[in-house]
Chains A and B, each alone.
Chain A
């Protein structure tokens, strides 16, 4: 595919100190409209792969072709970084400005927008994520979920074509993760995202790739159509249950159980 956003060929990367090879001849294409899940164990080199794509690290061998051009030096990556927004694992690394509006306007200002335009873009982007009330908040006083969404806004403010997301639902509670997922599903950008969160992958990914021992291979995402009865562990306040249980569940004083079968 010649119209792919990214074409990585034979990427090899080893850490300077240890010499450990984390990536060993990785090939990968990212085309418009794709939302690719990048899975693999801890330390498999998933973050490194994202960093190589935007030139934060340079490969020992192989080529990074982004937006139709081979990129080799720091200066080659300047426009890549504007068109492929990287969302860092820890939003505290990303939100370095004192206030939210400044942080979101930082990218547009670097792209040469005037102060007025940059602030207007920042406000629009925040509004699109329902964050307009956060503009004047102090970044380090936001909650984890808020920081995550604001750092997404900071990336989106540069109107990228591609989003590279490094464990975006990491450390988010269920509600914040759901909110983030809903926002991401509504976005038109092609995405490559690192995640260990099955529900998140299932809701977002169009395909998946698996990184192991330095090699990248296509991974299957599929759902088995099957039915079974199983038990869920859950916690609810007494009297708040809006569901029933089968007979094998421990006795609840406050609500009825169904006459179901045993668990498996």
Chain B
């Protein structure tokens, strides 16, 4: 998720693109619809069009070039193994023979298909959903009818993951100022075990205190989401247009 490490002081996105003006629910739903259509397409030309749409969305969201490319590179590096082995592992017409191994056209096309799909989907999610404040993602999911318990679990995680990290960093620093260095010794492993154990204990205690604080304010197991979202005419229009484009590409990809 794009915004997690780069929170602004006021929690607003650093740059406002065209995409940022639309309703969060619409953006999440659009990203989901885009992903579903993309993964079900098999024609390379149709997938190339989807990747083109994804690039346009990324431009409209004014995604920062460097970080976005780094994220895509991480994804592609992860898939490189699959891509390199697929031509050799799928049977078909050979285009290259290396001793006992032969690479097939079918395998190569399948590899290209996967690369196109993955990059198109990830780029779209970055552009549409990744530009949302994490908290807003939670609210939008609630508004879209996601199970309340999951949404609250998500929001509490967002709220406390920082506190946990601080706790960990604090203990880690406390070890460091007493000259702890990570070596391959029993002492180091035992100390690390205590560090993680202590983070767990403190988290559990904090969870107890948070629950007590919630009870003090009348919590009896039910959570309420305050955020209100309204779809504007522009949202409806953009949503319909996007759906239209997806339907057109899908029709062409499946029927054409």
Contacts and interface: CB of A to CB of B under 8 A. Distances in A.
Interface of A: 51, 54, 56, 78, 81-82, 85-86, 88, 90, 92-94, 96-99, 101-102, 105-107, 109-111, 115, 118-119, 136-141, 154-155, 158
Given A81-B218, A98-B158, A88 B226 contact: no
A12 to B, nearest CB: 21
Contact of A88 (B158, B160, B209, B227): B209
Contacts of B212: 51, 56, 88, 93
A101 B226 contact: yes
25 contacts: A56-B215, A78-B220, A81-B218, A85-B216, A93-B206, A94-B210, A96-B159, A96-B210, A96-B213, A96-B214, A99-B135, A102-B227, A106-B219, A109-B226, A110-B220, A111-B218, A115-B226, A118-B224, A119-B226, A138-B11, A140-B163, A141-B9, A154-B217, A155-B216, A158-B217
Residue of B156, B212, B222 with highest tally of chain A CB at under 10 A = B212
B226 A105 contact: yes
Contact of A94 (B10, B158, B213, B224): B213
B26 interface: no
Interface residues of B, number: 31
Interface of B: 7, 9-11, 135, 138, 155-156, 158-160, 162-163, 206, 209-210, 212-220, 222, 224-228
A67 to B, nearest CB: 15
Contact of B224 (A106, A136, A158): A106
Contact of A139 (B159, B214, B217, B225): B159
A130 to B, nearest CB: 18
Contacts of A154: 217
Contacts of A82: 218
Contacts of B9: 141
A115 B135 contact: no
Given A93-B209, A115-B228, 5 more contacts: A51-B212, A102-B225, A110-B218, A138-B7, A154-B217
Contacts of A96: 156, 159-160, 210, 213-214
A113 to B, nearest CB: 10
Contacts of B159: 96-98, 139-140
A96 B207 CA distance: 10
Contacts of B226: 101-102, 105, 109, 115, 118-119
Please indicate which of the listed interface residues B10, B214, B225 has the most CB atoms of chain A within 10 Å of its own CB: B214
Contacts of B224: 105-106, 109-110, 115, 118
Contacts of B213: 86, 88, 93-94, 96
A168 B142 CA distance: 34
B228 A155 contact: no
Contacts of A158: 217-218
B135 A98 contact: yes
B173 to A, nearest CB: 18
Nearest to A75: B220
Contacts of A81: 215-218
A110 B218 CA distance: 5
Contacts of B206: 92-93
A110 B217 CA distance: 7
Nearest to B134: A98
Contacts of B217: 81, 85, 106-107, 110, 154-155, 158
